[in-house]
Structure 1
Amino acid sequence: MMDKGKCIIVASMVSKILLLLASIVFQGVQGAIGVNYGTVANNLPPPSQVAHFLLESTTINRVRLFDANPGIVQAFAHTGIEVTITVPNDQIPQLTNLSFAEQWVKTNVEPYTPATNLVRVLVGNEVLSTANKLLIASLVPAMQTLHTALVSASLDQRIKVSTPHSLGILSGSSPPSTGRFRQGYDTHVLKPLLAFLRATNAPFMVNPYPFFGYSSDTLDYALFRPNSGVVDENTNLRYTNMLDAQLDATFSAMKLLGFDDLEIVIAETGWPSEGDLSQVGVSPDNAAEFNGNLIRHVTSGDGTPLMPNRTFETYIFALFNENLKPGPTCERNFGLFRPDMTPVYDVGILRPTARSSIPNNRGPDNVSPGPGTSPISPLPPVKGKGQWCLPKSGADPDDLQRNIDYVCGLGLNCGPIQEGGPCFDPNTVRAHAAYAMNLYYQSTGKFDYNCDFKRTGAITDVDPSYGSCKY
């Protein structure tokens, strides 16, 4: 996330047209909605638990990391979730060296693919906003060199190289048709960058934040609420939400340089659930409204006034509230979930089974708790009463095999179901899945949602142990 210091600046989105019907699961439709998985906190759950939670309990099908943390990358192995990793800004000058780039790929990419579905490597984050001349001059060469390293590893078709930008790259954005890139950056950095993206079939990634551009007078416009809209006098097109205006300003700037054919991806956007007392429009209700409306809008196929009939791959900021982030209160409260994985508010991304297991913290009257209200956690099992997770009757063997692969791929001890182990016999997929699924359930706190396994698991109070095979 950009260094926003005071939470009061302006900051744009994504088009994966073919994913509307095939991929977004929101209210029953599956689409390209991801989350930014930040880790500036000291109270977050283990990555393996996070990966399983996203897979089994939410409709999120992609995550963006701000580094290439091997523990997190490994945790997403065998989940199918698309993972984007990042080269930190300070490594960009070194990345222009091919030997360094090849070693970076050998260390951070090759060991994890194809088990982990790595789809992008981002070179830095909002580099142009740093005003660091060395980083800015090195950005495009670093991207080119990293791509060359991926070509050498035969990974360039699977993994694309890009970099996300704040809306600070625009010198003008209102009305949207007048959007243009800042002078100097436009021809010297952004034009070659866009040419590289076109040549490698990679998207242009931006971080549009209506939250950092609204005022008390434009809150409805920022939150996608009904409003009279704003007309662009050059095109006579009416804008009814700020995100569309930010995206179209970016599109106009790209078009001015001759690159209006590139896909735009929203690498970050979001709304905090808590802020300082002086901030207007910050609440769990408004955060839920923004992100819920955002998901509906970018997956609707409506597109924007200048980019009609599109869906946009979009990454919400952020997965968790991060308690160690510096700056104002809002910086620590962009999360969809608390560290215990209960929702801060509901935007419809929980699967029905998880929804029933994780209480809705908004209560029977749909009222969000205020600051200081204790989070409602999933109820743990009753002490003294044994509970185990087993495959449901009639569960498909292929699904159960995937459960085995997932659990054992996390590094949990699956030795007992290996040949010669006490739980190897009976040598059936169902029997081995029972052990593996229960192993995960017991290891992650025995919460109901840890036995969902895409609705193939069920909890029992009958101990399935037998002989020397102990569950």
Structure 2
Amino acid sequence: MATMIVLLGLLISLLVSTDAETILGVCYGRDGDGLPSQQDVVSLYQNNNITKMRILDPDQATLQALKGTNIELIIGVPNDDLQSLNDQGAANTWVKNNIQNYPDVNFIYIAVGNEVDPDPSHGTSQYVNFVLPTMQNVQNAINAAGLGNQIKVSTATYTGLLGNSFPPSDGAFHDDVQGFIGPIIGFLTENNSPMLANIYPYFSDLSNLPYALFTAPGPVVTDNNNGLQYSNLFDAILDAHYAAQARLGGQNVRIVVSESGWPSAGGDAATVENAETYYTNLINHIKGTTGTPAKPGRSIETCLFAMFDESNKPGVESEKHFGIFSPNQQPKYQLSFD
């Protein structure tokens, strides 16, 4: 009996240790000039004890470099591929080529589409009708491959889908989003999969920098519906997402923060000092495992954005300056991933 108790204790210790090691990751974007090779980038992850990676597309050189590393991988189906994968045969082929052909890569999530939004002004509305069918087809292919318990199929959403986020408990999706996101939430519930959400205080509200940068000395916002107090905007946004999901039957759907970061140049409050403050404090917050006011004690699985500045990325100038490493592989900031 004593031996059994000791072994049980060791198992619990290993499980807790594993969760602590894999809660934090970094997105690896390649839309820049002069970036290191994929093999060098994977080595950079390993040398800095970064144990989780997100890639937006199934880049074969990256998958080759990840073989045998045990780095947890979130792999994306790009928006431009969604329509073609509405065909089950095409989805089967995608899973075979990019998942089954790499049995020694540690896939954990497949993000089917990124920030698809029914709003025509966002530029992704043409993909709306393809997201859920592709998720279903990819799930079928994953199940057929015997990987349904190992790899979860989801999509990456973002705060722009919320029509209301204040106070957090009043979080709700835009009326014209609910018909799109509601069935997706149902799919995630049915398959016990998390929602992936890109959460950026930088793009949400810069009117109170201490609140956005985790440096407020105390509570800034009190949610009058439940009395919960918020000292940082990240938690408030995340809890607004949880509230919005709950309104559509997704109260038990866990959220994984698939992107969060702060630019070092190119916009208001986009400085090296602010970026280092944000990344440092976000990492400390995640490691603290205190959860959010509405979800206390729940770990906040998060991927920082991004490994490198992406000089060729479209959009506003700040979008090009989210890197935490320089192309020469030197760190821009003194961050600890241990």
Asked if these proteins are the same fold (TM beyond 0.5), I'd say: yes
How many Å separate the matches in 2 of 1:126 and 1:204?
Answer: 12
| 1:77 equivalent in structure 2 | 67
Matched to 1:96, the amino acid is N
Alpha-carbon shift at residue 134 of structure 1 (Å)? 4.4
Indicate the SS of the match to 2:25.
Answer: strand
Match of 1:383 in 2: none
Matched, 1:241 2:232: yes
**Contact 1:206–1:266 (8 Å) recurs in 2:** yes
SS state at 2:256 partner: strand
Match of 1:67 in 2: 57
Percent identity, aligned pairs only, is 36
| Cα deviation digits, residues 322-355 of structure 1 (max 9, x gap) | 1222333322210010011100111223x7xxxx
Matched, 1:204 2:195: yes
SS of residue in 1 equivalent to 2:153: strand
Alignment-derived partner of residue 98 in structure 1: 88
Task: Report deviation, 1:231.
Answer: 1.0
Aligned residue identity for 1:123 = V
List per-residue Cα deviations over 1:84-135 (Å, max 9, x = no partner).
111111211221111111111122211112x111122111101126645542
1:142 and 2:134 correspond:
yes
| Equivalent-residue separation in structure 1 for 2:127 and 2:14 (angstroms) | 34
1:442-453 to 2 correspondences below 5 Å: none
The alpha carbon displacement at 1:71 in A equals: 0.5
Displacement after TM superposition at 1:193 (Å) = 0.8
Q: How does 1:314-329 map onto structure 2 within 5 Å? A: 314-329=302-317
2:228 counterpart letter in structure 1: L
- 1:407-443 Cα offsets, whole Å, 9 max, x none, are xxxxxxxxxxxxxxxxxxxxxxxxxxxxxxxxxxxxx
The separation in 2 between residues aligned to 1:330 and 1:226, in whole angstroms, is 24
SS in 2 for 1:197: helix
TM-score by length of 1: 0.65
- Of the three residues 99, 110, 116, the one matched with 2:105 is 116
The alignment status of 1:127 with 2:116, answered yes or no, reads yes
Structure 1 residues 292-324: Cα deviation after superposition (integer angstroms, max 9, x where no partner):
111111221211111111111100000111122
Rounded to whole Å, the distance in 1 between the matches of 2:289 and 2:96 is 39
How many Å separate the matches in 1 of 2:119 and 2:63?
A: 27
1:42 is displaced (CA, Å) by: 2.4
In the alignment, the residues of structure 1 paired with residue 99 and residue 290 of structure 2 have an alpha-carbon distance, to the nearest angstrom, of 36
Of Structure 1 and Structure 2, which has the larger fraction of its residues in helix?
Answer: 2
Match for residue 284 of structure 1?
272
Matched residue type, 1:293: N
Say whether the 8 Å CA contact 1:173–1:249 is kept in structure 2. Answer: yes
Give the structure 2 partner of residue 11 of structure 1.
none
Q: Deviations over 1:198-257 (max 9, x none)?
A: 222211111110011222x40000000124411112112111100011011111111112
Say whether the 8 Å CA contact 2:116–2:125 is kept in structure 1. no
CA change 1:222–1:19 in 2 (3 A) is: farther
Cα distance in structure 2, aligned partners of 1:129 and 1:62? 30
Task: Tell me: CA distance 1:130–1:157, structure 2 relative to 1, closer, same or farther (3 Å).
Answer: farther
After superposing the two structures, state which structure 1 stretch, 240-249 or 130-139, moved more: 130-139
**Taking structure 1 as reference, are residues 20 and 206 closer, same or farther at Cα in structure 2, changes over 3 Å only?**
farther
Letter in 2 for 1:318: A
Give the root-mean-square deviation of aligned CA atoms: 1.9
Alignment of 1:63-462 (within 5 A): 63-113=53-103, 115-128=104-117, 131=120, 132-186=124-178, 188-215=179-206, 217-227=207-217, 228-276=219-267, 279=268, 281-349=269-337
C-alpha separation between the residues in 2 aligned to 1:20 and 1:213? 35
Query: 1:258 is matched by which residue type in structure 2?
Result: G
Letter in 1 for 2:136: Q
Contact 1:20/1:311, CA 8 A, preserved across alignment? no
Matched residues in 2 for 1:236 and 1:172: separation? 18
The answer on whether the counterparts of 1:231 and 1:238 sit within 8 Å (CA) in structure 2 is yes
Q: Are 1:22 and 2:17 counterparts? A: yes
Larger Rg: 1
Which segment drifts farther, 102-111 or 123-132?
A: 123-132
Whether contact under 8 Å (2:118, 2:180) holds in the other structure is no
Taking a change above 3 Å as real, the CA distance of residues 20 and 288 of structure 1, as seen in their structure-2 partners, is: farther
Letter in 1 for 2:197: V
Shift of 1:20: 9.1
Q: 1:20 to 1:178 in 2, by over 3 A?
A: farther
**Counterpart residue type for residue 295 of structure 2:** M
- Whether the 8 Å contact between 2:154 and 2:194 is mirrored in structure 1 is yes
How far did residue 50 of structure 1 move?
A: 1.1
Aligned residues: 322
CA change 1:133–1:42 in 2 (3 A) is closer
Matched with 1:389 is none
Structure 1: which amino acid aligns with 2:49? T
Note the residue ranges of structure 1 that are not aligned, 5 or more in a row.
1-17, 352-471
Q: What amino acid maps onto 2:91 in structure 1?
A: A
Shift of 1:265: 0.4
Aligned to 2:4: none
Matched letter for residue 210 of structure 2 = D
Distance in structure 1 (CA, Å) of the matches to 2:27 and 2:205: 22
SS at match of 1:23: helix
Aligned residue type for 1:22:
S
